[in-house]
Amino acid sequence: MAQPPERRVDIGQRGESLAADYLRDEGWLIREQNYEVAIGEIDIIAQRSIDFGGRPVRELAFVEVKTRRGGPVAPEMTVSRRKRRTIARVARVYLDGDWAGETTSRFDVITVDLSETPPDLCHYPAAFDALGRLN
């Protein structure tokens, strides 16, 4: 008997799980997944320590994950300007919390193509800035 097609939400959750595993493998600590406030949501918030002029600094990555099962449009092209600006606004809400001190932040995009075996994952560090402009 044929399996029913995977639901869109399940595809997204699978991609986010793969992206979080990838970030952990790259030395990031996953602080939040699906961080949501009234104005929007961020898929993953990750943290690591970096050396900045001889002193350790916390770096936060606010990560948008785009997952597809193939198709004509590259997943990274579906992160609209409006979505980028929303992510930046949600990040400001997050940073208003307990993040005083030496912390830098950036906005990454991770794409996951589930039509490949194993899934193809591409990481675009600092893909856009706090105003939603592409880098």
> For the segment 49-101, what is each residue's pLDDT rounded down to a tens digit?
988 888 888 999 999 999 988 776 666 677 899 999 999 999 999 998 776 66
Q: Is residue 134 situated within a structural domain?
A: no
Q: List the structure tokens of 59.
A: 């770096």
Q: Is residue 2 situated within a structural domain?
A: no
Q: Is residue 27 situated within a structural domain?
A: yes
Asked if the model's pLDDT at residue 8 lies above 80, the reply is no
From first CA to last CA, the distance across the chain in angstroms is 47
SS3 state at 2: coil
Bridge pairing between strands 120-128 and 29-37: unpaired
Q: Is residue 90 situated within a structural domain?
A: yes
SS3 state at 85: helix
CB-CB contact of 109 with 125 (8 Å): no
- Indicate which CATH number applies to the domain containing 75: 3.40.1350.10
Q: Is residue 135 situated within a structural domain?
A: no
Cβ atoms within 10 Å of 52's Cβ, excluding its own: 12
Q: What local confidence, expressed as pLDDT, does residue 122 receive?
A: 93
Task: Report the domain count for the chain.
Answer: 1
**Enclosing H/E stretch for 124:** strand 120-128
Residue 14: CA atoms inside 13 Å, Cβ hemisphere, count? 16
Q: Give residue-wise pLDDT tens across range 99-117.
A: 666 788 999 999 999 988 8
What is the 3 state secondary structure string of 48-65?
Answer: EEEEECCEEEEEEEEEEE
User: Which amino acid is it at 19?
Assistant: A
- Note down the domain range covering 92: 8-128
Q: What local confidence, expressed as pLDDT, does residue 10 receive?
A: 82
Asked if the model's pLDDT at residue 132 lies above 50, the reply is yes
Q: Is residue 103 situated within a structural domain?
A: yes
